[in-house]
Amino acid sequence: PEAVLRHGDARPMPAVGMGVAEYPSTPERTRDAVLAALEAGFRHFDTASLYRTEAPLGEAIAEATRRGLLASREEAFVTTKLWCTQCHPDLVLPSLRESLRNLQMEYVDLYLIHWPISVKPGPMVFPVKKEDVVPFDFGGVWRAMEECHRLGLAKAIGVSNFTTKHLDKLLAVATILPAVNQVEMNPVWQQRTVREYCAAKGIRVAAYSPLGGQNWIGEGNDVMESPVLADIARARGKSIAQVSLRWIHEQGVTPIPKSYNKERLKQNLEIFDWELTKEDRLKISQIPQKKIVTAARMFSPDGEFASMTCHVYKDE
Binding footprint of ligand A2P on the chain (CB under 6 A)? 19, 209-214, 239, 241, 257-261, 264, 267-268
Neighbours of 208 (CB within 10 A): 22
- Residue 32 or 75 with smaller CB distance to ligand A2P: 32
Residue 284 identity (one-letter amino acid): I
- Residue 133 or 241 with smaller CB distance to ligand A2P: 241
Least distance CB 75 / ligand A2P (angstroms): 23
238 CB-near residues (< 8 Å, 6+ apart)? 246, 274
Neighbours of 58 (CB within 10 A): 25
191 CB-near residues (< 8 Å, 6+ apart)? 183, 184, 185, 205, 207, 316
Residue of minimal CB distance from ligand A2P?
259
DSSP one-letter code for 126: S
Is 111 marked active-site? no
Among 155, 161, 197, CA closest to 179: 155
- Residue 10 or 21 with smaller CB distance to ligand A2P: 21
Among 198, 192, 189, CA closest to 166: 198
- Residue 40 or 176 with smaller CB distance to ligand A2P: 40
| Catalytic hit among 51, 107, 197, 260 | 51
Least distance CB 218 / ligand A2P (angstroms): 12
Q: How do 77-82 and 108-113 pair as beta strands?
A: parallel
Least distance CB 268 / ligand A2P (angstroms): 5
Least distance CB 214 / ligand A2P (angstroms): 4
Strand, helix or coil for residue 215: coil
Among 92, 82, 115, 91, CA closest to 299: 115
Least distance CB 154 / ligand A2P (angstroms): 24
- Residue 158 or 212 with smaller CB distance to ligand A2P: 212
By annotation, the residues acting in catalysis are 51
